[in-house]
Amino acid sequence: MNQPEPHEFEDREALAQALSNRIATALSDAIELRGRALLAVSGGSTPRELFKALSVEEIDWSKVTVTLVDERFVPPSHDRSNHRLVAACLLQNAAAPAHFIPLYNNAETPVEAARQASRQLEQAGDAIDVAILGMGADGHTASWFPGNEGLPELTSPTQEKPVMAAEGTGVPEPRLTLTLPRIAGARLLVLHIEGADKKETLDQALAGEAVEEMPIRAIFNSDAPSVQLYWAP
Ligand SMILES: O=C(O)C(O)[C@@H](O)[C@H](O)[C@H](O)COP(=O)(O)O
């Protein structure tokens, strides 16, 4: 199992600032090299301050495409929508001109929505320049939930679909999620977690093997670049 490279901060504000600067530099480098940049962010509650810091970074956001690592199967007007969070906190200020690719769309089923989102993502570039992962207290990342019967497909190193539908026990709505090869292929892969409890969860994940119990292990078992771990208490 590959160990992450740790970056620890005294507080969450310092983390948000440092991580925002690092992402902005990586996006600028990608624009310089390839003329465009692709950023995939997670939702949930952790990244809110990071998004605000990132939204005022002075880079050429018109050349940046933002998408989601995962999404809840709800429209952007819903208060659990990750699209809504990103629109409110990240696609603002200097970042307003960025292009956004949603995973949720008007398709009737999550499977069809995933198919449509996959098509759009395939047009956005061969690899993600920066992917930011979060992690839940149960060891899930993206929408790869413990015990989900679709997990082997979502975390297969040979999965060709970039986006798939997913579910989790006790998770209120179906999900749409990037699959392992798309995330592991990111040029810069960051795990952003906060609080002592999540650090303990991560230590537990790094100490074991069973992906079905703690799906984040699939990342550390993969040939992803060294995961950059950003943590603050
Ligand atoms: O939509 C989501 O819920 C996610 O993208 C998910 O994978 C998230 O990163 C973790 O559940 C951590 O969530 P918190 O930051 O809320 O703890």
136 lines ligand 1 (CB under 6 A): yes
pLDDT at site 102: 98
Distance 62 CA to ligand 1 centre (A): 27
Mutate which of 46, 68, 179 for ligand 1? The one with the most ligand atoms within 8 Å of its CB, which is: 46
Q: Is the CB of 139 under 6 A from ligand 1?
A: no
Expressed in angstroms and rounded, the spacing between residue 34 Cα and the centre of ligand 1 is 30
- Atom 1 of ligand 1, residue of closest alpha carbon: 43
Q: Look-up: residue for tokens 């200020």?
A: 93
In this prediction, residue 28 carries a pLDDT of 98
Question: What type of residue sits at position 6?
Answer: P
Mean pLDDT by 10-residue block, N- to C-terminus, for the chain (233 residues)? 96 98 98 97 97 98 98 97 98 98 97 98 92 98 96 98 96 97 97 98 97 98 93 98
Atom of ligand 1 nearest to the CA of 70: 5
Residue to probe by mutation, ligand 1, list 19, 41, 42, 80, most atoms within 8 Å of CB? 42
Ligand 1 within 6 A of CB of 177: no
Query: Does the beta carbon of 42 lie inside 6 Å of ligand 1?
Result: yes
Which residue CA neighbors atom 9 of ligand 1 most closely? Answer: 134
ipTM for the whole predicted complex goes beyond 0.90? yes
Go through the domains of the chain in sequence order and give each one's CATH number: 5-232 (3.40.50.1360)
Q: Can you give the pLDDT at residue 229? A: 98
The span from the CA of 141 to the CA of 131, in Å, is 12
Nearest-atom number in ligand 1 for the CA of 71 is: 1
CA of 33 to the centre of ligand 1 (A): 31
Residue with tokens 């993206």: 142
Rounded to whole angstroms, how far apart are CA atoms 204 and 172? Answer: 26
pLDDT value for 1: 86
